[in-house]
Amino acid sequence: MSELALSDEILMGIEKPARYIGNEVNMVRKNPNDVDIRFCMCFPDVYEIGMSHLGIQILYDTFNRRDDVYCERVYSPWPDLDRVMRDKNIPLFSLETQSPVKDFDFLGITLQYEMCYTNILQVLDLSGIPIYAKDRTLDDPIVVGGGPCSYNPEPIADFFDVFYIGEGETRYDDVFECYKAMKDDGSSRVDILHAISKIPGMYVPSMYEVSYNEDGTLASFEPIHEDVPRTVTKEVVMDFNDVHYPEKPLVPFIQVTQDRVTLEIMRGCIRGCRFCQAGMIYRPTRQKDVNLIKDYAVKMIRSTGHEEISLSSLSSSDYECLKEFTYFLIEEMGNQHVNISLPSLRIDAFSLDVMKKVQDIKKSSLTFAPEAGTQRLRDVINKGLTEEVILNGAMQAFHGGWNKVKFYFMLGLPTETMEDAEGIPALCERVAEAYYDIPKDQRNGKISITASSSFFVPKPFTPFQWAAMLDPDTYIERAHHVKDTFRQQLNAKSLKYTYHESYVSVLEGVFARGDRKLSKVIYDAYKSGCIFDAWTDFFDNDKWMAAFEKNGIDKEFYTTRERNEDELFPWDFIDIGVTKRFLLSEWKQAKKGVVTPNCREKCSGCGAAKFGGGVCFERGK
């Protein structure tokens, strides 16, 4: 029996001990003494969530291809184990070798959502690594952040040594070489970080100084050394067909959130919805060669034994060879009893045909994400979906036997009025009416429509980065009004409406566009007991409010304040290719309700073409 970090008594006393023992199929084994660099990759949430994340699987595979690097994993211990570890002073350990995280050269933390920030502090704390980067020594790992939230890393800048801005596949080799050369040559920690800060894509917060205006907005953001770059350009994979992809992903023992093969077919999105950060930061849109992904699909099913394969992209319908690939999968996977799951498909004749083949109509539902209730507001957010398209798609589906529909909306979008809010129940009602217009013998019983709305959070690097977030009371009022309006519809019995609570969204709103002043708040919230904030059972709003109060931080400064066009943002030092000028013109177009065509219809000159590839050059321009 291999040595485990936790004793039998502990493992038998906690929920799901399998979260902490490693040993999964396709786990990489190396002798840590045989490598130069030990890298611990962390998803700061529970194992089942972290193991479902594609990005870590890609980097785990990429790093471990190097003979001089051993990449292991760690996830947040669930509160039951967290308590035991604190009680007994057990240091946090990696799954592969069950050895202390503190002994690693690097601790890489993926930042997928703002509500994981206290879990980052939990991981550092349990590892025995000083929470603030300034307190660390050469004995501590270099703590690197990456992922979507690193596009505004400022609220957590004080906790990290380095942020990797952009796509992880491209630049780690340079970081490893730099570290390898310096780790034993007498260089100080500061020297190493200084050297890393000169590698493209790397942001070392301690190499920059910020100052604020009297009103709290950012006055300046400057490197402290001349040789540290003023702007950090995001890293982006431009040869999307010649980049590592894990052919043998890890297969967990216990059921995880995404218990299937995930195959990335495309990165980026041509649509340009104005609320969507992913749609901007992953530009330009790049597709994988269809023959390449066919090959991956077969290999990955073979190497994992998974019974389901799922496609990953922001908008699968925009993948140009989707038809060819989907029919290939149906043919190939059907024989092997592998299910196919196709998220984010536009409802049309093709997708309905596919859904009919791969799903049980009785159990499956149609999903639409109009995001806003009226055409006016959909134009504001640049969501191309029209009511006509929704009704046409729905009618085709109803004739095909479907009778369940799901709608996703947002409330609190810029320029939203009561009329827009009332448009949500009105749209659902019209879909229900259209259903009942079908003669009884041609439809499949009663229709069931479920609509839900979330509280819109303006994000950096979107045209709405200047926008005010709605205040939570008005949001709740509006949600109540929508709910009441639903009850007044003719087909109210077929309609169901739910809305998200406001507290978590407000915090997301603060951190999404926050600055370095917020690190104290996160620290104090953590110290008062906040962890697993993304989990309703553990989220404690009062503790958070107390932490804001204690530090004299006004949440509204970050949320409900509309920004001036010339305001310097904490994330402006990052260059994502898409220019601030383009985002500003989109913000102005939004306020006028003017739509912008998608990247394939017409190039709008967003700036992402500077990377020299992807959709920007698809037509051989």
Residue 384 sits at φ, ψ, to 5 deg, of -65, -20
> Rounded to whole angstroms, how far apart are CA atoms 236 and 614?
11
Three-state secondary structure string covering 14-42: CCCHHHHCCCCECCCCCCHHHCCEEEEEE
State the residue for tokens 């589906």: 397
Residue 407, strand partner residues: 368, 451
* Residue numbers 328-357 binding another protein by CB under 8 A: 336-337, 339
* Least Cβ distance, residue 27 to another protein (angstroms): 8
Q: Which two tokens stand for residue 455?
A: 């509280």
360 sits near another protein (criterion: CB under 8 A): yes
* Least Cβ distance, residue 477 to another protein (angstroms): 44
> Rounded to whole angstroms, how far apart are CA atoms 119 and 172?
24
Q: Is 427 left (phi over 0), alpha (psi -120 to 50) or beta?
A: alpha
Residue 164 sits at φ, ψ, to 5 deg, of -95, 115
* Residue numbers 48-87 binding another protein by CB under 8 A: 87
* Residue numbers 190-229 binding another protein by CB under 8 A: none
- Mark the segment that binds another protein (CB under 8 A) among 70-78, 305-313, 437-445, 587-595: 305-313
List b or e across 467-502, with b for residues whose CB sees 16 or more CB atoms inside 10 angstroms: bbbbbbeebbebbeebeebbeebebbebbebebebb
Cβ closer to another protein: 5 or 372? 5
Other CB atoms within a 10 A radius of the CB of residue 172 amount to 25
400 sits near another protein (criterion: CB under 8 A): no
Cβ closer to another protein: 261 or 615? 261
Q: What is the DSSP code string of 400-428?
A: TT--EEEEEEEES-TT--HHHHHHHHHHH
488 sits near another protein (criterion: CB under 8 A): no
Cβ closer to another protein: 66 or 299? 299
Cβ closer to another protein: 120 or 300? 300
- Mark the segment that binds another protein (CB under 8 A) among 13-21, 197-205, 386-394, 535-543: 13-21
* Least Cβ distance, residue 8 to another protein (angstroms): 6
> Which residue from 65, 83, 86, 88 is in contact with another protein, where contact means CB under 8 A?
88
> Which residue from 304, 375, 485, 505 is in contact with another protein, where contact means CB under 8 A?
304
Query: Distances in Å between the alpha carbon of 230 and those of 157, 189, 223, 225?
Result: 16, 21, 6, 10
> Which residue from 15, 23, 231, 289 is in contact with another protein, where contact means CB under 8 A?
23
List b or e across 523-549, with b for residues whose CB sees 16 or more CB atoms inside 10 angstroms: bbbbeeebbbbbeeeebeeebbeebbe
- Mark the segment that binds another protein (CB under 8 A) among 20-28, 223-231, 397-405, 527-535: 20-28
307 sits near another protein (criterion: CB under 8 A): yes
Cβ closer to another protein: 166 or 252? 252
Cβ closer to another protein: 337 or 621? 337
Alpha helices, DSSP H, located in 146-225:
172-182, 189-196
> Rounded to whole angstroms, how far apart are CA atoms 173 and 180?
10
251 sits near another protein (criterion: CB under 8 A): yes
> Which residue from 8, 184, 215, 565 is in contact with another protein, where contact means CB under 8 A?
8
Cβ closer to another protein: 334 or 529? 334
- Give contact residues for another protein (rule: CB under 8 A): 1-2, 4, 7-12, 17-18, 21-25, 27, 87-90, 251, 253-255, 301-307, 336-337, 339, 360
